[in-house]
């Protein structure tokens, strides 16, 4: 699996606290190993994000991907 980070993601990632960065990296690692892991709460988005999916990295942290 190849992961490309969007420049907006990289910019927002830098602004996160160290704890939240760790959560994001942990979720991405789980996703790479098993994209269907129930822990990720992986689901399709609607509206203007139609065609994209989202995984949970915490109550207030989401990672959106294609």
DSSP assignment letter at 7: H
- Give the pLDDT score at 3: 87
Determine the pLDDT at residue 55: 94
Cβ neighbours of 48 (radius 10 Å) = 6
- Write down the pLDDT at residue 1: 78
Q: Model-level pTM?
A: 0.83
For residue 25, the model assigns a pLDDT of 94
What does each C-alpha distance from 28 to 40, 47, 48 come to in angstroms? 9, 24, 23
Using 50, 70 and 90 to split pLDDT, how confident is the model at 53?
Answer: very high
Q: What is the pLDDT, as a whole number, of residue 59?
A: 85
The structure tokens listed for 3 are: 């992961």
User: What mean pLDDT value characterizes the chain?
Assistant: 92
- Compute the Cα dihedral for 25, 31, 34, 38 and give only its sign: positive
């Amino acid at each position: 699996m190849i992961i490309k980070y969007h420049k907006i993601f990289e910019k927002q990632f830098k602004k996160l606290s160290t704890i939240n960065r760790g959560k994001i990296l942990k979720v991405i690692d789980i996703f790479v190993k098993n994209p269907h892991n129930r822990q990720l709460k992986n689901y399709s988005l609607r509206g203007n994000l139609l065609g994209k999916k989202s995984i949970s990295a915490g109550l207030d942290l989401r990672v959106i991907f294609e």
